[in-house]
Amino acid sequence: MRLIIYSMLGLLILIQYPLWFGKGGWIKVYELERQLEAQQDKNAALEIRNNKLAGDVKDLKEGKLAIEERARTEHGMIKEGEYFVQIVPKDNSGPSSTTAPPNPKQ
């Protein structure tokens, strides 16, 4: 009787092995689903980027304002008759006016 039980248990294990670990097993399917989700997320991000680039190309082909904006921001160009003014922030690396000077009498 034990021989029959052990042989049935062995057959059950042999039948289950391809289901779990085989080429189309549950573990492989789960891994492929995770890869598919990751690829779909990546594709969605790339599609957004492509739409932005297509909009930039359309603006550059059709309008003069986009070209002016790029020339100003990326190349620092100015129009004729304009003046370039740059405001430099105050350097606060020295001693601050809020701190008291050291007391030499101590």
Rounded CA separation 72/101 (Å): 45
pLDDT of residue 33: 95
pLDDT digits over 25-62, tens only? 888 889 999 999 999 999 999 999 999 999 989 988 88
pLDDT at 104 over 70: no
pLDDT of residue 94: 57
pLDDT digits over 66-95, tens only? 888 888 888 878 888 888 787 899 887 655
- Tell me the domain boundaries of the chain: 19-75
pLDDT digits over 8-28, tens only? 999 988 888 888 777 878 888
Cβ atoms < 10 Å from Cβ of 14: 9
Q: Specify the residue for token string 């350097």.
A: 91
